[in-house]
Structure 1
Amino acid sequence: MIGGVALAVSGTGAGSALAAGRTPGATGQGAVGPEPYVPVKVGAGGGPAGTDRVRVLKVGPNTATSVLVLVPGMFGAANDFRLLARDLVAAVPGLQVWAPDRREENLADRSGFAGPDPLAYYLDGHYRTQDPAASPFAAHWGLPLALADLRAVVRSAGRGGRRVVLGGHSWGATTAMAYAAWDFDGCPGYRDLAGLVAIDGGVLGAFDGTGDPVHDSPEEIRERLAAIDAGAVFDLTLSGVGLGSRPESTQIWYQLAGHYALHDPDGPSVLQPRLPDALRLPYTVTNAGQLGFFVDAGFGWPNAITVHSGHLADSGDVRGWVDAGITPIGRVAAAYAGPVPTVWEWYWPARLSVDLDVTDAYTDSALARSLGLRLHHAHRLDVPLYAFGTSQAKGTIEEAARRVVAGSRIPYAAYETDTGMNHLDPLFAAPAHNTLTRTLAEFLTGPGAR
């Protein structure tokens, strides 16, 4: 590690973060304080009533003098960061962590999780869905709007002179890097910040090692924009999992799996009989086992949506889950179940995917300008950078971060890689086995702060 961004403040110890709240602490050291999920007003975006706001999950003491704002990645939502936030707040004196949802979270109907039968509400089609054909407004929900919303969050976090470090996971890291280089009516985004954190994502080829690099040739962009104009306003990437063809189908299945694994982990899976034949195991599993089947790397799911949790029991009339990895299934269940906030965003705008792909070049190109991307200040960045990579990108997270540093005024940086982790492990792994928690805490409390 080279340097760090010191956020520790004398007299504001970790004990203040472990106040008299009632939410169980992730570290086993007591309880954390209240974790509000509060609205932040943002500008008009042309969507339905109630969508001109974002909500922020806040973990840690209100007396904190520094705030780490973490942006979820593609299809990610605020609860991605609750467990990580608790662990960081316990480790870093004077820190609060904010996890914002994007405005499209307002389109999701989570009400069924408060009822007696979430499975029937969602799988039998009783929930309120957002029809892409009735959502032309989403064609304009790209990166400029997302960053305008994020700036409202960052400025709120910085009130009272608090230091703000901005980061994110996967495409959330790309979003954070875009914010730093963005021109907000003549004001560079990095001037709002004391540091940057890129967790398994970024720019300048960060995703090249994944086998699915960005698609940003002018020809590809023209084709994608034409599809959006024709009505394909929501990204359907997750439909490839095989759990349904609607934009929200896969996310609903995963949240249901988390719900039942949390509330009845050892009961026979209520989802298994409803699964498509191709995804149904040939033996009965518990609710925890069903969630494990969905999320554990041992079943062959893509690295981008898996963790190292364990395995199903070898025998039994109903096979349960055996924790044998760095990410216990109970932690995954607690995060996935939500219900509000949750881990999965239902309606990811296809235009945001286009803009983030083009952002990878991290320069004020003609293509970027044609999309309204104001990436004017990448070469002037002068705040510390922390970059963390997992096995997903095979080293290109660090390589890309080094390119960012070489092309800017960043004074010092920390680069960490744990190839024993998959893409989602850093968000949910047990603290004792989470390299991200330990090294990010070191960065946030390290020497060399301005």
Structure 2
Amino acid sequence: MGISSVGTLQAPLAEAQPFVGAEPLADRIETDVAGSALTPDGVRASYVSFSDPLPLSSGPRPAECDRLGYLRFRSLQGPDDPAEANSVFVTMPGYVEGAGAVEPMARNIVRTADLGGQHVEVWVLDRRSNCLEDHRGLLAAQATRDPNSAADYYTKGAPLDGATYAGERPATDTEFLRTVGLKQTLNDQFAVMRQLPPAYRKTQVMCGGHSLGGLTTGAFANWDFDGTPGHEQCAGYFVLDSRMDVTGADPLRLAGLVGDILPAGIAGTLQPANDLLPFLPATQPLFTSVASMLTAAHIAPDATSTILPGLPTDLITQAAARAVSARDYLDFALGQPDLHTRQFTNSAALGLLLDDNSMPLGYGRVSIGTFDTPVEAKSFPAPYGMPSQLIGIFGGNKFVSPMPASGRVGWTNYDRVPAVGARTIAGDTYTTPGSEVTDLGDFARAWANPVADGFEWYFPTRLLTEILAANTGDRNGDLAKLRYDVTPTSKVIYLDGGDSGFSGGLDSLGRTSVVTGTRVVAEGYNHLDVIAASWHQNKGGPEVISDSLIDFLNNQVLRSAVTE
């Protein structure tokens, strides 16, 4: 929850007290999330926060960063006490993901359980660094229903409530992030879970995560919480387009290099870099611009975008814009097509940025439909139709670009793609209804949620380097807490995106435990679809991620707990 996010929360719920049999948490507050709390799907969304100060050694930080929070999803017909639910799914978001990113999947899980007469909850952790985000622009857009108010605040200097956007937080506010690595992140997760009685955690809680959150989940299971094993806090695990472990991996392979030249204590070796850059630098213009585009696509999807032509001129944002719009390397170098003059609707602008036939980076793709104008094949940054490369980061999809001079570019939502598929001007089919699985409007609403949005604007670099170090075998310093090796024998379900390539890429880096778990491949799903797919699917039948999770819960976890 960032600056002023409290403005979108309703009055605290009456049951916002420590639950029976659980450890009491200091100053626990639970509030319904305005705009998404009571929806026709029968799922209630609320935000829970409590006081959990960082150690004194973390140094100075804003007061709001001494609180933890998470999004809580549950059935309107379910119990108030989560320990009376059939299960709680504790979910860790992925790389640079905020809790809002997982909202569509969370709702689907609750609905699927309801259909079977069960009540489950989904808790999506809002990592501590999200305390630094300034959500005033997102709040204003939600309150006024003005699709441009967020961008006006973040990129044009428009004041809100007497304040103007200050850009990146000063070093005095962010230096504490150098201490927020794997240990602090896992301690934060455990602090959230301690609301539930120990016996309940061991027999009914599902622990899991998406992308980087899958590897974090593996670390949680193998972590020693001062004599309390992490694997005794979860009855089962779910891993979303990722893996729980990559034994023997060499991070240099991420860059296509090979060699045994890494120091034994890689985490400690990289810590000076984390101290210098405690979060991803110079990314605020990009994050705020995309957040503004998400808001506009949610509020006014068919209106002409004024955000795309006015993107910030910083190097990272402009490079990202060129990467998704350029047809070839020459276009990229020349900055063509000119997004200042080409008209896109708000939904088409979002599709240009994130759709799986436009976004070049595999971990940022979602299948939300296609352009409604003629398109041609792209050869930038990878040849058209190139197989997935570099752990699913590049290639793997057919990338297209709207034809020049084809008028204003609009968007065809995922459930309106022609039955025969969408074709380039050369006649090649680049997408079909079966590979379009996510509703653009629902995706935009969830990721632009001003209480807990879909991005982590200040992702701590230490968390990334320590997860990579842990999977090379580093057990020095804080990583000495990784004392167990229970992943191969745990009850785990791996849910992979069929069009992703990310999880398969992790398999290629080293030895993983996927062969000892249950694996489900969601055909047509890209990396973000695994957490964002819609309840209604073009192929008919149930949504595969939520359906598989509830089936695994009942047949592999709860049934086993009864017989053990």
Cα displacement string for residues 374-423 of structure 1 (whole angstroms, at most 9, x for unaligned residues): 110124875411112222226356789984377xxxxx731112353211
Matching residue within 337, 343, 353 for 2:464: 353
Higher relative contact order, chain-length normalized (CA < 8 Å, sep 6+): 1
> Which amino acid in 2 is paired with 1:224?
L
Distance across 2 between alignment mates of 1:135 and 1:87: 35
Contact 2:495 2:545 in 1 (8 A): yes
Tell whether 2:451 aligns with 1:340. Answer: yes
CA distance in structure 2 between the partners assigned to 1:197 and 1:210 by the alignment: 27
Distance 1:214 1:172, change over 3 A: farther
Contact 2:49–2:67 (Cα < 8 Å) also in 1: yes
> What's the offset of the Cα at 1:371?
4.1
**Contact 1:132 1:232 survives alignment (8 Å):** no
* CA-CA distance at 1:350 after TM superposition: 1.0
Distance 1:167 1:158, change over 3 A: farther
Aligned partners of 1:182 and 1:375 also within 8 Å: yes
CA distance in 1, matches of 2:252, 2:124: 25
Give yes or no for contact 1:169–1:201 (8 Å, CA) kept in 2: yes
How big is the shift at 1:158?
4.3
Count of residue pairs brought into register by the alignment: 408
- The match for 2:165 among 127, 132, 139 is 127
2:360 is aligned to: 301
C-alpha deviation, 1:312, in angstroms: 1.4
- CA shift, 1:48, in A, is 2.2
Q: Unaligned 5+ residue runs, structure 1? A: 1-20, 237-245, 407-411
Deviations 1:337-383 (CA, angstroms, capped at 9, x unpaired): 2121110011011111111111224xxx5x32234441101248754
Match of 2:348 in 1: 289
Give, in angstroms, the shift of residue 283 of structure 1: 2.6
Q: Structure 1 residues 145, 257: closer, same or farther in 2, change over 3 A?
A: same
Q: Distance in 2 between matches of 1:396 and 1:182?
A: 25
Indicate yes or no: 2:68 matched with 1:54: yes
Aligned-partner Cα distance in 1 for 2:467–2:69: 22
Decide which moves more: 416-425 or 430-439: 430-439
Please tell me whether the aligned partners of residues 367 and 529 of structure 2 are also in contact (alpha carbons under 8 angstroms).
yes
Structure 1 segment 18-417 matched on structure 2, within 5 A: 23=36, 30-45=40-55, 46=58, 47-60=61-74, 61=78, 62=80, 63-92=84-113, 93-115=118-140, 117-124=149-156, 126-128=164-166, 129-132=168-171, 135-158=174-197, 161=200, 163-205=204-246, 212=254, 217-218=262-263, 221=267, 224-229=270-275, 231-236=276-281, 246-275=282-311, 276=318, 278=322, 281=339, 283-314=342-373, 317-323=407-413, 324=417, 325-361=436-472, 365=473, 367-379=474-486, 383-390=490-497, 391-393=500-502, 395-396=504-505, 403-404=512-513, 413-417=517-521
Paired AA for residue 467 in structure 2: L
The equivalent of 1:242 in structure 2 is none
C-alpha RMSD of the superposition: 3.2
Bigger Rg, structure 1 or 2: 2
Contact residue 313 and residue 320 of structure 1 kept, 8 A: yes
Distance 1:41 1:402 in 2: 39
- 2:423 corresponds to: none
CA distance in 1, matches of 2:104, 2:135: 21
CA contact (8 A) 1:388 1:436 kept: yes
| Post-superposition CA distance 1:219-273 (Å, at most 9, x none) | 86565322223x211124xxxxxxxxx2323221221111000111110002121
- How far 1:331 sits from its partner (Å)? 2.0
Checking the alignment, whether the CA contact within 8 Å between 2:98 and 2:454 is kept in structure 1 is yes
Shift in Å at residue 211 of structure 1?
7.5
Deviates more, 1:284-293 or 1:439-448: 439-448
Q: Which SS does the other structure have where 2:560 is aligned?
A: coil
CA spacing shift, 1:134–1:103, aligned 2, 3 Å: closer
In the superposition, relative to structure 1, how do residues 208 and 222 fare at CA in structure 2: closer, same or farther (>3 Å)? closer
CA shift in 2, pair 1:373/1:202, >3 Å: farther
Against the structure 1 CA distance between its residues 380 and 211, is the aligned structure 2 distance closer, same or farther, given a 3 Å change threshold? closer
- Tell me, in whole angstroms, the C-alpha distance in 2 between the residues paired with 1:253 and 1:377: 42
Query: Hey, what does 1:14 align to over in structure 2?
Result: none
| Contact residue 83 and residue 428 of structure 1 kept, 8 A | yes
Between the aligned partners of 1:203 and 1:96, the Cα distance in structure 2 is: 22
SS at match of 1:156: coil
Q: What TM-score comes out, normalization by structure 1 length?
A: 0.81
Q: Tell me the SS of whatever aligns to 1:39.
A: strand
CA spacing shift, 1:119–1:22, aligned 2, 3 Å: closer
With 168-177 and 367-376 compared, the bigger mean Cα shift is at 367-376
Q: Which amino acid aligns with 2:278?
A: V
Contact 1:210 1:392 in 2 (8 A): no
Say which SS state the counterpart of residue 146 (structure 1) adopts. helix
The answer on whether the counterparts of 2:37 and 2:44 sit within 8 Å (CA) in structure 1 is no
Query: What one-letter code is carried by the residue in structure 2 that aligns with 1:64?
Result: A
SS of the residue 1:395 aligns to = helix
